[in-house]
Chain A
Amino acid sequence: MKKQLVPESSSSRFDLLSEEIVFIILDFLNENPLDKKSFSRVSRSFYAIESRHRKFLKPLRSEHLTKILNRYRFVSTLDLSMCPRITDASLGVISGRCKEMLRSINLSRSKFFSHVGLTNLVMNCGNLVEIDLSNATELKDSAAAAIAGAKNLERLCLARCKSITDIGIGCIAVGCRKLRLLSLKWCLGVADLGVGLIAVKCKEIRSLDLSYLPITSKSLSQILQLQQLEDLVLEGCFGIDDDSLAALKLGCKSLQTLDMSSCQNVSHVGLSSLNSLAECLQQLNLSYGSRVDRALADSLQNLSMLHSVKLDGCQVTCSGLKAIGNWCVSLKELSLSKCMGVTDEGLSSVVTKHKDMKQLDITCCRKITHLSLANITNSCTSLVSLKMESCTSVSAEAFVLIGQRCQFLEELDVTDNEIDDDAGITDSSILAIACGCPGLEMINIAYCEFISDRSLKSLSKCSKLNTLESRGCPLITSSGLAAIAVGCKQLFKLDIKKCRNVDDAGMIPLAHFSQNLKQINLSYSSVTDVGLLSLASISCLQSITILHLEGLTPSGLVAALLACGGLIKVKLHASFKSLLPPLLFEHLDARGCTFQWRAKTFQAELDPKCWKLQLADAE
């Protein structure tokens, strides 16, 4: 695209522009990552300008790290989350090249470096503000002590660093006094002492994630005295109970977001303490907690700033929903996913009052009918995200309303919406949605059996579409997929599992046009070696799931795996394990690719009715 815009001969004219102006032009070239690539290919000077301009880098392979860091000398943000094989040597390269320029580094998903590399990094890159070490399960307290040397650190994510204990956190608390964001999710070695010391030493903390930590009211009371705290996540903290929340009454006038999902020991008695946060609390997550009834809804009605409530997986009563409808605030986000007891009456009373609703999740609310959907589309016209998987009582005509009224919709999940064999989402519903919601980015139409290529062709008009899940739609063929590939250049996630009529003919346009595709599921489709091999030309492809492809041979698979250099996750049937050469595994493992083996036998086509009926019985 850019090549046509900037012909070779006019490069001299561009030389007249100052570098700053070209930089500003480049700032606008961020819609498609490939655009900048094209720009840099124009000429030597463009190449140089582009390499000076780039601040953010997200390499797909760690082996080229030296080269790209030589080219991009002004990178301040380095996202290595796509490189699962970052070693101490790689960190040595980074700290040697980036020096003081580096401000942010993301090392999540890699566990091959140690405290030695981190010490090196922290020593050389004194301006580091952000480090993400998620999933570095092997890191010990010595690594935490190394991080403590980063005096300017403001954001630190240690999610799933299971081997770090209170001692390591203590080092960080003492060393990184400027911390504003800290995530300790799943750091199971950290308890009251470490968290308490964070509260004592790091007074700047704005955001704190303490999910699944074995903390009690002892450290919670200290945390709640942090004057700047805005965002607190306490998901799955079983040590927190009603009494612990009493500490809310004392301090913390700044808390804006509170996540207490899966806190089983908190009831509406404890939640009444939230009233002291009335002036500040904006988002509240009480998923998988106590029953949402009138008492609970009333205890929250004084929260005057509240605009987002998540109640996933809670038992909900009609009176509770009505009480929520009577809140004086106007909710922008409501999540009732997997809530038992959501009825047309209750949901309608909520959506008719909260007209500013932008995000609504009513997944698995099986009792609601077209009445609710009519109310939703009627009053919440600015809806951006609607998730209504398995709302099996909603009739086909109701979905047309979505296309007619919700023009700002970006996310739609209508997975598995059908009442009988002859009802449910049809092509006409999707047609209306595709026309009415041009900004659609994500759509899930899995298991909507009546959808055909016509739907896909209409969806191809939504140029921003990046996620398409059409699992289990047997009417879809390669031609529909080709239309999507051509129309939706942003596509990065595609699920065509159990689309039996999709074959190699669909893969070739995909390989050609969808250069942003990262994740694909081809299980049970009719794709063969040829189709798979053609996908190898998509350089950023990372994850493929290829179970039960009848046309797949071991040699074809080997060729495809070798050709897809960026793969980090492959889901394969266990029978291939013995058929593939062991050397291949070694090679792929060295590249950072992991295999997931599945031994499930081929299922012809289970009657979806039977498990649906079971679910209905259970309800």
Chain B
Amino acid sequence: MDPEERPCADTWTKSSSGSESLQTRPTNTSFNDFNTQQTFSFNNPFGAQISVTSNLNNQKQMSDPQESNNTQDWDPRAMLNNLSFLEKKIHQLQDLVHVIVRRRGQNTGQADEILVQQQQLMTADLTSIIVQLISTAGSLLPSVKQTLCPESSISQQFGVTNQTAGVSDNVVFQHNNSVNKLEDPSDMTGFFGAEQNCPIEDHEMKSDDDADEGENLPPGSYEILQLEKEEILAPHTHFCMICGKGFKRDANLRMHMRGHGDEYKTPAALTKPHKESSSEPILIKRYSCPYIGCKRNKDHKKFQPLKTILCVKNHYKRTHCDKTYTCSRCNTKKFSVIADLKTHEKHCGRDKWLCSCGTTFSRKDKLFGHIALFQGHTPAIPVEESKGSAGPSNKVEQLEFKYKSDAPSGSSCRNVMDLEGSGEDPISYFSPLNFETSGIDGFQEFPRPPFEDSESSFSFLLSGSCDYPPKNGRYTGSNDME
């Protein structure tokens, strides 16, 4: 996935996969050899509960779909997650208020602008908390859940399925006019107007084409799609019917469409196209790599399908394309996926444990394991030390310094610059939807890739409001589901 798409993609792919499985769940029953399953429930901030089924191979499959539905309705674990999330949220809000109180004490002649921004932030946070609370409570009551059900489609409008135009033909736009005032996107913009500088995180999706090794779908139980090389490498997959401008995701396209006339500004037109959740079983879609002889190619003896379009793209670029992006720091490492480069750049130079053979390690124990294994290899003394200037402790200081210089100005600016340089429509970037996802905290619900470094790049945000909790360990495993 391209980094420009990252901010929302993380949440959206999740919700989209959720919606996918909403539809695919009934099909599970048709495959009785689908032996083990585990059920996860995610509450998204808008009150809809989306159950994601995934075959993590450790729970007996429920034979009766209805029964399984009932058991999925209320997951105490999800409830606990929700509650702890809410608790965290309230604490963050408290911190923010503390800051405001302190600032008032110090400086009475404060700029009104900041005050307004802070108030907006608080309102947004409070709203999110209330919504979350209602949804949490709602998940307990079957009756409430039923009434909330239509809203789930509203929430889906913010999620975008990853289907490319060329592949998914059965996209159905669901027109839902019962949009709650609270969830009106234009309203939300007001709340988040203050956060023009929201950082856009590069999310690691490396696991995409590696992590599904465990998947063990029986051949024939899924539909195999194969994209052509040109389709895979195309920078845009969504094109404007009027001016022909290309976009990477349909949400951005819809935002763009607003400029072409009022008819594109209706909530219905802005709604995420939602697949009709028909009762007829839909075949699971899996993807094949067009490269002949690749293990991911459907003609391979031990064919292992790719799960999503994104996986196809990353896999194809990583495996069958030239590595064109070179790390500007070390000038040795090359990558074909720009996100991989960015990940590497975060760690480049931090591999301070060096072996005499030239291999570097980020962890000391890995270096010692390497040395214990190979004859004649020996730990290399860092250059600074042999000059007598510094020991290892000094190195740490340097790193910290680098960190600091990175965090406040660097990352935010760089992200914006990247975006402009990439030719992506900046409007989509500043659209309320985007800010919503990065500003509102609901998406903490969703799994975060374990390798991202949220603290460093978010540290410059107003205190508390947008803080991620440091890594959610309990979610890291579930990230592989898509």
Interface residues of A (CB under 8 A from B): 114-115, 140-142, 145, 148, 163, 165-168, 170-171, 174-175, 193-194, 196-197, 200-201
Binary per-residue interface labels of chain B (372-407) against chain A in the complex, 1 for a CB within 8 Å, 0 otherwise: 100011110100011010011000000000000000
Q: From residue 342 to 380 of chain B, which have CB atoms closer than 8 A to chain A?
A: 353, 364-365, 367-368, 371-372, 376-379
Q: Cβ of B385 and Cβ of A193 under 8 Å apart?
A: no
Cβ 8 A contact of A174, one of B353, B364, B365, B378: B378
Establish whether residues A141 and B385, one from each chain, have CB atoms under 8 Å apart when the complex forms: yes
Q: With A165-B392, A197-B371, A200-B372 known to touch, is A170 a contact of B379 (CB < 8 Å)?
A: yes
The 3 closest A-B pairs by CB, nearest first: A174-B378, A170-B379, A193-B368
Question: Assuming the A-B contacts A165-B392, A196-B368, A197-B371, are A142 and B378 also in contact, with contact meaning beta carbons closer than 8 angstroms in the complex?
Answer: no
Query: Closest residue to A200 on the B side, CB-wise?
Result: B372
**Smallest CB–CB gap between A579 and chain B, Å?**
38
Interchain nearest-CB distance for B328 vs A (Å): 28
CA A67 to CA B388, docked complex, whole Å: 32
- In the assembled complex, the Cα of A200 lies from the Cα of B371 at a distance in Å of 10
Q: What's the minimum C-beta distance from B427 to chain A, rounded to whole angstroms?
A: 53
Chain B proximity of A419: nearest CB distance (Å): 56
Are the CB atoms of B368 and A166 closer together than 8 Å? yes
A115 to B388, CA, bound (A): 10
Name the B residues within 8 Å of A114 (CB-CB).
388
Give bound CA distance, A175 to B388, whole Å.
Answer: 22
Structural contact, B391 and A174, CB atoms closer than 8 A: no
Chain A to chain B contacts (Cβ below 8 Å), 22 pairs = A140-B385, A140-B388, A140-B391, A141-B381, A141-B385, A142-B381, A142-B385, A142-B388, A145-B386, A163-B391, A166-B368, A167-B353, A167-B381, A168-B379, A168-B381, A170-B378, A170-B379, A171-B378, A171-B381, A174-B379, A193-B364, A193-B365
Residues of A within 8 A of B371 (CB): 170, 174, 197
**B368 to A, closest residue via Cβ:** A193
Quote the shortest CB–CB distance from B369 to chain A (angstroms): 9
Contacting pair A171 B379 (CB below 8 A): yes
CB distance from A126 to the nearest CB of B (A): 19
Contacts of B376 in A (CB 8 A): 174
B379 touches A142 (CB 8 A): no
Residues on B with beta carbons closer than 8 Å to the beta carbon of A196: 368, 372
Chain A: minimal CB distance from B354 (Å): 9
CB–CB A175/B378 < 8 A: yes
Chain A residues with Cβ below 8 Å from B377 are: 174
Separation in Å of the A141 CB from the closest CB of chain B? 5
User: Which residue of chain A is the closest to B372 with respect to CB atoms?
Assistant: A200
A115 contacts B368, C-beta separation under 8 Å: no
Q: A165-B392, A166-B379, A174-B376 are in contact. List 9 more A-B contacts (CB 8 A).
A: A140-B385, A145-B381, A166-B364, A168-B381, A170-B371, A171-B381, A174-B379, A196-B372, A201-B372
Pairwise interchain contact B372-A197, C-beta atoms closer than 8 A: yes
A541 vs chain B, min Cβ distance (A): 36
| CB neighbours of B367 from chain A (8 A) | 170
Residue of A nearest to B377 (CB): A174
**Residues of chain A with a CB closer than 8 A to B368's CB:** 166, 170, 193-194, 196-197
Q: Bound state CA distance, A114 and B391, in angstroms?
A: 14
Check B392 against A148 for contact (C-beta < 8 Å): no
Q: Interface centre among B377, B379, B385, B391, by most A CB within 10 Å? A: B379
**Separation in Å of the B384 CB from the closest CB of chain A?**
10
| Chain B residues whose CB sits within 8 angstroms of the CB of A166 once the complex forms | 364, 368, 379
What are the residues of chain B within 8 A of A115 when measuring CB–CB?
386
Bound: A200/B376 CA distance, A = 13
User: Are B388 and A148 in contact, with the CB atoms below 8 A?
Assistant: no
Chain B residues whose C-beta falls within 8 Å of the C-beta of A145 in the assembled complex: 378, 381, 386
A52 to chain B, nearest CB (A): 40
- Report chain B residues within 8 Å CB of A171: 378-379, 381
Query: Chain B 417-436, CB within 8 Å of chain A: the 1/0 string?
Result: 00000000000000000000
The interface centre, meaning the residue of A163, A167, A197 with most chain B CB atoms within 10 A of its CB, is A167
CA distance A19 to B335 in the complex (A): 76
Chain B residues contacting A167 (CB-CB under 8 Å) are: 353, 379, 381, 392
Q: Which residue of B lies closest to A145 (CB)?
A: B381
In angstroms, Cα B379 to Cα A193, docked, is: 12
Residues from chain B with a CB closer than 8 A to the CB of A170 are 367-368, 371, 378-379
In the bound complex, residues from chain B placing their C-beta under 8 Å from that of A142 are: 381, 385-386, 388
CA distance A201 to B372 in the complex (A): 7
> How far does the alpha carbon of A171 sit from the alpha carbon of B376 in the complex, in Å?
10
Kindly list chain B residues whose C-beta atoms are within 8 Å of the C-beta of A174: 371, 376-379
User: Which residues in B have their C-beta under 8 angstroms from that of A140?
Assistant: 385, 388, 391
B252 CB to closest chain A CB, in angstroms?
Answer: 50
Residues in chain A near residue B364, CB distance under 8 A: 166, 193
The docked-state distance in angstroms from the alpha carbon of A175 to that of B378 is: 8
The smallest beta-carbon distance between A53 and chain B, in angstroms, is 40
How far, in angstroms, from A50 to B392 measured CA to CA in the complex? 50
Q: How many angstroms between the C-alpha atoms of A115 and B391 in the bound complex?
A: 14
- Residues of B close to A141: CB separation below 8 A: 381, 385, 391
Q: What chain A residues lie within 8 Å of B378 (beta carbons)?
A: 145, 148, 170-171, 174-175
CA distance A114 to B385 in the complex (A): 12
- Greatest chain B CB density within 10 A among A168, A175, A197, A201 is at A197
Residues of B within 8 A of A175 (CB): 378
What residues of A have a CB within 8 angstroms of the CB of B381 in the complex?
Answer: 141-142, 145, 167-168, 171
What residues on A are CB-neighbors of B392 within 8 Å?
165, 167
Contacts of A165 in B (CB 8 A): 391-392
CA distance A144 to B352 in the complex (A): 18
Which A residues are in CB contact (< 8 Å) with B385? 140-142
